[in-house]
Amino acid sequence: MSARFDRAAVKQKFREPGAPPVLATSMQRSLDHKRAAQAGVPWEALRDRAHALKADAIANLDILLEQFERRFVERGGRVVWARTADEAADAFLRICQAHGAKSVVKGKSMVSEELRLNERLAAAGIDPVETDLGEFIVQLAGHKPSHVIAPAAHLSARDVGTLFERKLGLEFSDDPQTLSLAARARLRGRYVSAEVGMTGVNFAVAQTGTLIVVENEGNGGLSAAAPRVHVALMGIEKVIRRTADLATFLPLLARSGTGQKITTYTHHFLGPEAGKHQYCIIVDAGRTALLADPATRESLYCIRCGACMNVCPVYRRVGGGAYGSVYPGPIGAVVTPKMVDPAAASVLPFASTLCGACKDECPVKIDLPLQLVHLRRLAVDTAVAGGLLERRAMRMFVRAMSDVRAYSRAVKWLRLTSRVAQRSPWKPGPLGAWMRRRTLPAPAGQTFREWWGSRS
Amino acid sequence: MVGIAIVSADARADILARIRAGLGMEARAELSEPPPIDATRTSPDVATRPDSCARFARELAAVGGEAIVLVEAGDAALARAVAERVARFDFRAVAVQRDSLALAAAAGIPAARLIQLSGASIDQLERADCAIVAAESLIADTGSAVVHVTAYEERLLPYLPPACIIVARASGVQVGLDEAALGAGEDERGERVFITGPSRTADIEKTVVLGAHGPGSLTVIIAAD
């Protein structure tokens, strides 16, 4: 299998941040909506409860998955287990072929991105139709989703208008209403003609064997209901113990994701009715590796609301595409090395200022900064990160900090070199990239100690 | 069932073994004690029922839907209110869920304006301009209607036609999610869906647009007890 994570390209994108201004504006809008929606509920108490419920579900994951499987099968569904993303995509293709599918209507699913399902379907001659507006836009543009709940967050209304004009032959418009309704009209007929419908899964309830999917557009409902076959894709971590737990998770997810009290549609799939087939593909794809390390286990509590991205100063500056992963932002930095490609371990955990905003925003209180620091330590210990230069610099730093004379020599040297660097037109390396966009502050005329000593 | 070999026993056993190894546990069959559930509510105030109806209407209006609370009791009053609405918006192809409340609510609509949900064909449903479905209950705190669609041809009703009328009884108004029917009966099939306002999207610049793929117009008519 070819490498999925392009290390060099990602490093370059972090060096030269390229997110369009529309991204930061949209992210701020999302945060404002979230804050307003939080006000009406005992937010902190709900977060604590959600954290405890997820901790319990993950601590009992094996039993809950078996229980879910048993009840789901009792309802008439079929369960397929997949160790890897490729195994899951194979299973999906076999289901499509068994039912003679020529096209698949797809509701929103991040697991589908992990599987690279669209490529796999297209290669097998099956037409994948993304129906979520954001996914439809990025599929049309040939992009990857840049945000877990707003896949087209990196595109402005003008961008979308130009895209629709070019690819769909529509008259240009930069009005979100006109554009959204154009996509609606385009997709109407596809639901009824598709043989297979796919959705993701937000929660799988072990107690009842039911699948919970939340969405706003109605495309998820149509994708699940219209074709004769419904395939739900879920990671192993989606299972929860009881239906009563939904009263905690649904309000947190809707408020954190979009600032709503509850999403427009909360689907409870109860098992296939007469004339219908229902499958659930349960995917590991690196999740058990996250589970095995107690320091990263909490990342499996994630309910994919996207709030950590909305608030992250790095994400807002570089955009989701820069992370080179299905999962961007702080949570992406934690899960990508295990879930997508180990090559990310030397890059993504370092793409954070460790400011802690993501932890404060997370509705299930995942300690993301702690996990990032842990992954950095792992990366350095196993020497996949931190080049020769960095290790030298660190040794010099340790020397300077442990000896007064070495320290004052180092300070003099730094003042000199920073003056030189300021005037030099030659700005190489990462420091150069930093300086091309910022002004290096001029060093003070004298050090604090010199000034203190000169006081009369 | 289609006879295909899609179940890999190896994958199942491997994943469960990896989980147990990751958790540092042997195979076990018993769940540990669940964490205690405290009394924290998602809907802070417990309102009385008359307030709940008004609360429901306010919450639904806030997300772009409309609630009509009938004063006069009985199915005849409900049927009149529905027929009036169908006439006012000139719906010409109305599809009705085969549910006693929904059918009673549709009793006043002229037969020429109704679509029969016949057999397995859902092609007819594509030309429906309005759906009428029944709510099992309503959730006042969120403005949600709880709808259970069981038959294949009924499952598209809440999503496909551009307008949706949901009929409910005032006795079915719940206070909040904490009281809502989140469970699922063993014999129930199809889908139970909480519908909160018309379909919407904010995928372009976070600007809200109603009528994304589902109905752009959603009305809940609440019959008095």
Nearest to A81 among B8, B183, B196 (CB): B8
In this complex, is the C-beta atom of A43 within 8 Å of any C-beta atom belonging to chain B? no
Q: Which residues of A touch B162 (CB under 8 A)?
A: none
C-alpha distances in angstroms, A189 versus A170, A192, A429? 18, 6, 53
pLDDT band at B8 (very low <50, low <70, confident <90, very high): low
Query: Of A16-25, A267-276, B79-88, where does mean pLDDT reach its minimum?
Result: A16-25
Query: Of A92-106, A366-380, B34-48, where does mean pLDDT reach its minimum?
Result: B34-48
Containing H/E element for A96? helix A85-98
Substitution target in B43, B144, B155, B206 with the highest count of A β-carbons within 10 Å is B206
Closest CA to A198 of A286, A257, A110: A110
Residue A194 has pLDDT above 90, yes or no: yes
**What's the mean pLDDT when you consider all of chain A?**
92
Quote the minimal CA–CA distance from B76 to chain A in Å: 30
The predicted model gives A193-212 an average pLDDT of 97
pLDDT of residue B3: 45
In this complex, is the C-beta atom of A143 within 8 Å of any C-beta atom belonging to chain B? no
Residue A143 to residue A289: CA distance in whole angstroms: 29
Residue A147 has pLDDT above 80, yes or no: yes
Residue B4 has pLDDT above 60, yes or no: no
ipTM of the complex: 0.94
* Residue in the structure block whose two tokens are 């995942």: A366
Closest CA to B211 of A107, A184, A153: A184
Q: Do A53 and B195 touch (CB under 8 A)?
A: no
Q: With 0-12 CB in 10 A as exposed, 13-18 as middle and 19+ as buried, what is A325? A: buried
A250 within 8 A of B184, measured Cβ to Cβ:
no
Residue A48 to residue A44: CA distance in whole angstroms: 6
Percent of chain B with pLDDT over 70: 91
Residue B120 has pLDDT above 70, yes or no: no
pLDDT of residue A268: 98
Nearest to A184 among B150, B186, B213 (CB): B213
pLDDT band at A21 (very low <50, low <70, confident <90, very high): confident
Percent of chain A with pLDDT over 90: 76
How many alpha carbons lie under 13 Å from residue A420 in its C-beta half-sphere? 6
Query: Of A120-124, A344-348, A385-389, where does mean pLDDT reach its minimum?
Result: A385-389
Residue B161 to residue A182: CA distance in whole angstroms: 16
The predicted model gives B82-90 an average pLDDT of 97
pLDDT of residue A1: 39
Per residue in A214-239, pLDDT tens? Answer: 999 999 999 999 999 999 999 999 99
Q: Identify which has the larger pLDDT, B216 or B123.
A: B216
